[in-house]
Amino acid sequence: MTVHADLHTHSTASDGALAPDELAIRAARNGVTHLAITDHDTLAAYAGLAGDTRGRPEIVPGIEFSTTWRKIGVHIVGLNLDPSNTELLAGVEAQGRRRAERAHKIAERLQKCGIRVRFDELAGHREARTIGRPHFAEYLVREGHVRDTASAFRRYLGNGKPGDVRSLWPDPLQAVRWILAAGGIPVLAHPAHYRLTTTRLRELLRDFREHGGLGVEVVSGQQSAATTLKMGRLAVEFGLAGSCGSDFHAPIGPWTEPGRFDALPATVRPVWDLWT
């Protein structure tokens, strides 16, 4: 069987627009054979996948943990893990508390900018289990403070803006420990998004590998061929398996469709080889 895996997607359990079953169906229609729903700091999506599994991709249980490395926000994806593992669940609970605290801090900062946040309306129609900056962005649009979500990030929520609260997240080592305890594969998510110099990116990859990291997203959504080749070379250099994913959030906007991204370079060992 040819594997066409999308190992980084989001559902309504965090900041995605589609329910888990809708996401699985959409991925299947796009030819995805293996799907990981990697919602931010929550495993809630997997409770929403009950029922008929015919026509769906094979589900690879996953999560995306928020962490801080040298004052830089870095995301660690866990793949093929046991969602019932007690140590993992304790980590998810801890992250949930951090997210709640972070949301209130963001609201306090927006208040200082003259924007009152009503938490009962923050998640809008999506009934998200975890609140993140995208929910604040949509709220700002609905309340007429900005024209669109891109403007919300540029003015209020992006890096260095009032709503950029990241100091609460743990070190990547902690996320790696939670994932390994659950028998999963720790993967450094979308490394090109951090806009690090090559030297700093090598330092991050070195630290991640020494902490027990096993994979890196060589392909993340739509990216240039040069980026894919660079990430592939770094994966080989640091002995990391290569992962790939769309980082899909919604059918509209800038998001890549599930499964619609370039293949891993032939020189890179696929991350699914670690569990098959």
- pLDDT the model gives residue 276: 79
Residue 100 has pLDDT above 90, yes or no: no
Decide if 175 contacts 169 (C-beta within 8 A).
no
Instruction: Give the predicted TM-score (pTM) of the model.
Output: 0.89
Residue 38 has pLDDT above 60, yes or no: yes
Give the residue among 154, 174, 161, 188 at the shortest CA–CA distance from 91: 174
Residue range 116-152, pLDDT digits in tens: 888 777 755 444 456 778 889 888 998 999 999 889 9
- pLDDT the model gives residue 125: 45
Q: What domains are defined for the chain?
A: 5-92+168-274 (3.20.20.140), 100-157 (1.10.150.650)
Instruction: Tell me the C-alpha distance between 133 and 104, whole Å.
Output: 11
Residue range 207-218, pLDDT digits in tens: 999 999 999 999
The secondary element (H helix, E strand) that includes residue 216 is: strand 215-220
Residue 40 has pLDDT above 80, yes or no: yes
The average pLDDT across 85-97 equals 96
When the pLDDT of each residue in the chain is averaged and rounded to a whole number, the result is: 92
